[in-house]
């Protein structure tokens, strides 16, 4: 009956153990997920901040370049306003077209030689006549009122009109016109400039800042300046599959000033800044040059995450092992209490013992001052319950100093004796743990009343 009771007891505790184990690992998984989420959120916040700071630094470079480009347009716009105002004043004073032409010729010479070397001359349509400040004579079929500089000026209604740039086939330079309608609603003053200055500044900015590409697009998507001269004059709106089309499309569709673009297996960061008049400066930079520090951060985060989880798992497993050992010891203690009169787990290394089964209260009183000394405690117990005729044999058996030799190749050693109440008893040692050299670390000592077996 005692054996069947033990099996039932172990089965019950095994079931409880499995339930507890499932609950434990469920909590561990929840903890892991929670820690992972907390770390991931914090990493994302830090990552975003570092990424934004890196992009912000490059964005300032693009904005500075855009300001330089804008200055060239503003300077030209100021010039056309000034000339238009002067011509308007001359008309009020009833100056002739000949006088106005002489003024345009004079100003074209001064402006082109001392102010803007990319300027090609002032001209206009005044009182039904085309006047050219650099002496260009148009063909007979030339109709000034049908030219883009005239049409755009009329549509602008007195504001400076930035006429769509074009590629000069002779010089292969990008040129553009700026024109302004005079108050009479018919006369127009215009000027031509080449964008070579803008091209030069862009090439310098591209090299200085380490950009892969630099480009300036007008409002229609035409390339008015590019670090690759062969791209000048192309319209990136019509080049969806090309690298320029991908970048310009991203930058015109996004509300932000940057975009990450993949092209031919490589990742780039495209940054833009407004030049003015709907024009955009776009800088294309290798993603590694901008986001290299974030890549290092990601690697460090993954390594740190692995280290943290390794430490956490090691700690949890260590804690779990301790819990299981304690639970196992507790179950052993309760099961042994039903079988043995007393049982002790003895640590031979530090000569201490742990009670695994309740013992007789009278024996407990005898060992109340044992101070945890294993050898002393079991000698007191055995001295109290052993018949005098068997004490010598029993004392030899419980000698802890000889256990290593006696249990060297055995899983149990036992001895029978008669108690002082003339009852048969059995006492045994069972090894529990050994070190790497095979030396005993701990054993269990059990005593059983054989009369009740």
pLDDT in tens, 346-382: 999 999 988 876 666 666 676 665 566 889 888 988 8
Least trusted range by pLDDT, from 99-103, 261-265, 431-435, 445-449: 261-265
CA distance 276 to 70: 6
Q: Two tokens at 354? A: 């742990």
Long-range pairs for 289-293 at CB < 8 Å and ≥24 separation?
Answer: 289/210, 290/54, 290/55, 290/58, 291/51, 291/54, 291/55, 293/50, 293/54
Contact between 255 and 182 under an 8 Å Cβ cutoff? The reply is no
If pLDDT is split at 50, 70 and 90, which confidence band does 10 have?
A: very low
pLDDT at 9 over 60: no
Three-state SS string over 174-233 comes to: EEEEEEEECCCCCCEEEEEEECHHHHHHHHHHHHHHCCCEEEEECCCCEEEEECCHHHCC
Contact between 227 and 206 under an 8 Å Cβ cutoff? The reply is yes
- Residues facing 281 on adjacent strands: 216, 273
Average pLDDT of 323-336?
A: 62
357 phi-psi bin (left φ>0, alpha ψ -120 to 50, beta other):
beta
Q: Two tokens at 380? A: 């007191």
Return the CA Rg of the chain. 48
Contact between 356 and 332 under an 8 Å Cβ cutoff? The reply is yes
Instruction: Report angle CA 212, 216, 222 to the nearest 5 degrees.
Output: 120
Return all residues near 196 (Cβ < 8 A) that are at least 6 apart: 118, 173, 174
CA distance 420 to 387: 4
- Tell me the per-residue pLDDT of 250-291, one tens digit each, with 9 for 90 and over: 665 555 577 777 777 788 888 888 888 888 888 888 877 666
- Tell me the per-residue pLDDT of 13-68, one tens digit each, with 9 for 90 and over: 444 444 556 676 777 778 778 877 887 787 777 767 767 677 777 888 889 988 98
Residue 289, Cβ neighbours under 10 Å: how many?
15
Cα–Cα separations (whole angstroms), residue 342 to 352, 355, 371: 16, 8, 18
Least trusted range by pLDDT, from 1-10, 173-182, 211-220: 1-10
CA distance 357 to 334: 6
CA distance 233 to 255: 26
Residue 225, Cβ neighbours under 10 Å: how many?
27
Residue 93 or 323, more confident:
93
- Residues facing 129 on adjacent strands: 126
Find the length of the chain: 453
CA dihedral (328, 332, 335, 337) in degrees, to 10, reads -140
Contact between 175 and 218 under an 8 Å Cβ cutoff? The reply is no
Q: What is the pLDDT of residue 291?
A: 66
Residue 163 or 334, more confident:
163
> What global pTM score does this model have?
0.58
CA distance 265 to 369: 80
- Tell me the per-residue pLDDT of 221-243, one tens digit each, with 9 for 90 and over: 888 899 988 888 888 887 766 66
Residue (of 375, 379, 387, 345) closest to 363 by Cα position: 379
Domains annotated on the chain, with CATH: 36-196 (3.30.450.20), 340-452 (3.30.450.20)
Three-state SS string over the chain comes to: CHHHHHHHHHHHHHHHHHHHHHHHHHHHHHHHHHHHHHHHHHHHHHHHHHHHHHHHHHHHHHHHHHHHHHHHHHHHHHHHHHHHHHHHHHHHCCCCHHHHHHHHHHHHHHHHHHHCCCEEEEEEEECCEEEECCCCCCCCCCCHHHCHHHHHHHHHCCCCEECCCEECCCCCCEEEEEEEECCCCCCEEEEEEECHHHHHHHHHHHHHHCCCEEEEECCCCEEEEECCHHHCCCEHHHCCCCHHHHHHHHHHHCCCCEEEEEECCEEEEEEEEEEECCEEEEEEEEHHHHHHHHHHHHHHHHHHHHHHHHHHHHHHHHHHHHHHHHHHHHHHHHHHHCCCCEEEEEECCCCEEEEEECCCHHHHHHCCCCCCCHHHHHHHHHHHHECHHHHHHHHHHCCHHHHHHHCCCCCCEEEEEEECCCCEEEEEEEEEEECCCCCEEEEEEEEEEHHHC
């Amino acid at each position: 009956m005692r054996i069947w009771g033990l099996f039932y007891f172990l089965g019950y505790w095994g079931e409880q153990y499995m339930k507890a184990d499932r609950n434990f690992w469920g909590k561990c998984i929840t903890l892991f997920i929670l820690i992972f989420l907390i770390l991931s959120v914090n990493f994302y916040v830090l990552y975003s901040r570092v990424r934004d700071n890196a992009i912000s630094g490059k964005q300032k470079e693009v904005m500075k370049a855009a300001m330089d480009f804008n200055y060239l347009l503003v300077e030209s716009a100021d010039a056309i306003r000034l000339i238009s105002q002067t011509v308007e004043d001359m008309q009020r004073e009833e100056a002739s077209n000949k006088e106005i032409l002489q003024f345009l010729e004079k100003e074209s010479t001064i402006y082109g030689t001392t102010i803007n070397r990319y300027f090609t001359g002032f001209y206009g349509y005044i009182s039904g006549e085309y006047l050219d400040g650099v002496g260009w004579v148009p063909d007979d079929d030339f109709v000034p009122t049908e030219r883009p500089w005239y049409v755009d000026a009329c549509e602008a209604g007195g504001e400076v009109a930035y006429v769509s740039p074009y590629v000069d086939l002779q010089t292969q330079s990008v040129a553009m016109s700026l024109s302004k309608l005079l108050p009479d609603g018919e006369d127009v003053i215009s000027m031509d400039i080449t964008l070579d200055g803008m091209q030069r500044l862009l090439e310098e900015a591209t090299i200085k800042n380490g950009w892969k590409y630099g480009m300036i697009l007008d409002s229609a998507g035409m390339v008015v300046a590019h670090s690759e001269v062969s791209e000048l004059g192309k319209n990136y709106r019509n080049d969806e599959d090309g690298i320029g089309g991908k970048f310009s499309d991203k930058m015109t569709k996004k509300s932000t000033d940057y975009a990450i673009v993949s092209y031919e297996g490589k990742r780039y960061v495209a940054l833009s800044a407004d030049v003015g008049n709907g024009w955009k400066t776009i800088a294309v930079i290798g993603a590694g040059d901008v986001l290299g520090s974030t890549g290092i951060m990601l690697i460090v985060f993954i390594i740190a995450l692995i280290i943290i989880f390794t430490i956490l798992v090691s700690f949890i497993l260590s804690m779990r092992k301790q819990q299981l050992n304690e639970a196992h010891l507790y179950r052993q203690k309760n099961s042994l209490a039903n079988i043995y009169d007393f049982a002790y787990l003895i640590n031979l290394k530090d000569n201490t013992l742990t009670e695994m089964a309740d013992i007789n209260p009278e024996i407990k009183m005898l060992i109340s001052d044992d101070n945890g000394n294993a050898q002393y405690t079991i000698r007191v117990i055995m001295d109290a319950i052993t018949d005098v005729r068997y004490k010598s044999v029993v004392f030899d058996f419980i000698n802890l100093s000889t256990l290593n030799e006696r249990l060297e190749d055995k899983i149990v050693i036992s001895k029978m004796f008669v108690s002082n109440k003339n009852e048969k008893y059995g006492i045994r040692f069972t090894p529990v743990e050994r070190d790497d050299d095979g030396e005993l670390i701990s054993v269990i000592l059990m005593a059983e009343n054989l009369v009740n077996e």
